[in-house]
Amino acid sequence: MISNQILQNTIDGLKNITRRDFNILDAEAKIVATTIENAVGEYVPEVEAFINSHADSQEMQGLHYFKIYDEYLVEYVLAVSGTDDEAYKLGKLAAFQIKSLLVAYKERFDKDNFIKNLLLDNLLLVDIYSRAKKLHVENTVPRVVILIESNQSKEANISEILRSIFPDKSKDFVTAVDERSVILVKEVATGEETEVDNYSKMIYDTLSSEAMSNVHIAVGTVVSDLKDVSNSYKEASMALEVGKIFNCEDNISTYSKLGIGRIIYQLPLPLCKMFIQEVLKGKKVENFDEETLMTVNKFFENSLNVSETSRQLYIHRNTLVYRLDKLLKMTGLDLRKFDDAIVFKITIMVSQYMEYMERQNSGKL
């Protein structure tokens, strides 16, 4: 449960304070941490007999031994040098410290497992509420799932940074369900959009300040019941993918702001291919030159306003009209008309979705 390094750091600190040597042995009577050089891994046969005895402490060969229990089973045995009264007191204090660490790490581990299973929908409804009560996790408070993905294999660093930003472990939970993603289940005060936006921006700014590039953040919707946290996670997962396809320049994607991209993402690929074929009559979006696509995107950004688009592109109005007429001849769509503009905008987005899925299926993502 507790790493051997944590145990080693603990008894090193105890030795610095008490000037006594300490050993910690596992339930198989092997030394897992010690202040004595080259003793790690040694098997101590007399300790095995002590573990199987009814005694909780015992003096042997100039050392005082103490059992440390996990519920009713012996998890560790602590040994302190000396058989005097002071050694007994120091051993009891050290054993209490290790026991406290064991309880704390076990609770953290149990909560982490609970949150993972909750996110992955692996729990029955009755199990969710019973385990939440046992782990002192509130049921009916507003929460949102924020998903952070990085390609830099810094999962541990991201987890620690998130815990430093949101240190209240009774309200906010940080976990991971795969090698690339870290998940924050964040309790929110109001659940309003601006509050959630502030949290996601804070996370992105902090990670950026830690020189972590290529970080994507996705946000689900706020849910008020613990059983719905898995839904928020699914929404955040979708927002992450949709954001990569249609919102490449923005590193934060929010499920409630995905718009039409959310619908296109759920379309079957054969239907998308059929749509592209019908609209472009055998052509593909990538067949259009870069100048045409840049013009179209700027035209859409300016709500089909010819004057404003030509001003921002630093071209004459007639030049813009010429480009739009050229596209009309190629596709039969006049982007100055609202209905045609919608069709071409959807065509571009469907094409982006198809391209993304093709790269994903070929393993290039």
pLDDT digits (tens, 9 = 90+) for 303-356: 999 999 999 999 999 999 999 998 899 889 999 999 999 999 999 999 999 988
Rounded mean pLDDT, 166-186:
87
Reference 345, options 356, 354, 333; nearest CA is 333
Q: What is the pLDDT of residues 259-300, one digit of tens each?
A: 899 999 999 999 999 999 988 887 888 888 888 889 999 999
- Cα-based angle 341, 342, 346 (whole degrees, multiple of 5): 115
Q: Within 13 Å and on the Cβ side, how many CA atoms surround 225? A: 6
Q: Per CATH, which fold does 268-361 belong to?
A: Arc Repressor Mutant, subunit A (1.10.10)
pLDDT for 47: 92
Q: What is the mean pLDDT of the chain?
A: 89
Whether 107 and 70 have beta carbons less than 8 Å apart is answered as no
The number of beta carbons lying within 10 Å of the beta carbon of residue 227 is 16
Q: pLDDT band at residue 249, thresholds of 50, 70 and 90?
A: low
Q: How far apart are CA 206 and CA 203, in angstroms?
A: 5
Q: Given pLDDT bands bounded at 50, 70 and 90, which one contains residue 358?
A: confident
Higher pLDDT among residues 112 and 166, named by residue: 166
pLDDT tens-digit map of 115-165: 988 999 988 888 898 888 888 889 999 999 999 988 765 555 888 889 889
Fold held by 4-105: Beta-Lactamase (3.30.450)
CATH 3.30.450.40 domain locations along the chain: 4-105
Give the side-chain half-sphere CA count within 13 A for 302. Answer: 17
Give the burial class of 293: count Cβ atoms within 10 A of its Cβ; 0-12 exposed, 13-18 middle, 19 or more buried.
middle
User: Which has more pLDDT, 191 or 63?
Assistant: 63
Buried b (16+ CB within 10 A) or exposed e, 42-56: eebeebbebbeeeee
Share of the chain above pLDDT 70, in %: 95
pLDDT of residue 94: 93
Q: What is the pLDDT of residue 365?
A: 55
**Region 103-118 average pLDDT:** 81
What residues contact residue 256 under an 8 Å CB cut-off, 6+ apart? Answer: 193, 221
Confidence at residue 213, expressed as pLDDT on a 0 to 100 scale: 66
Q: Where on the phi/psi map is residue 219: left (φ > 0), alpha (ψ -120 to 50), or beta? A: beta
Amino acid 230: pLDDT? 94
Exposed/middle/buried for residue 98 (C-beta within 10 Å: 0-12, 13-18, 19+):
buried
Whole-angstrom Cα distance, residue 247 to residue 139?
Answer: 34
pTM: 0.67
What is the number of other CB atoms lying within 10 angstroms of the CB of residue 192? 12
The yes/no answer on whether domain 125-263 falls in CATH 3.30.1490.20 is no
Question: Running DSSP on this structure, what letter comes out for residue 258?
Answer: -
| 25-51 pLDDT, tens digit each | 999 999 999 999 888 999 999 999 999
Confidence of residue 178 (pLDDT cuts 50, 70, 90): confident
Q: Where in the chain is the domain with CATH 1.10.10.2840?
A: 268-361
Residue 196 pLDDT class (50, 70, 90 cuts): very high
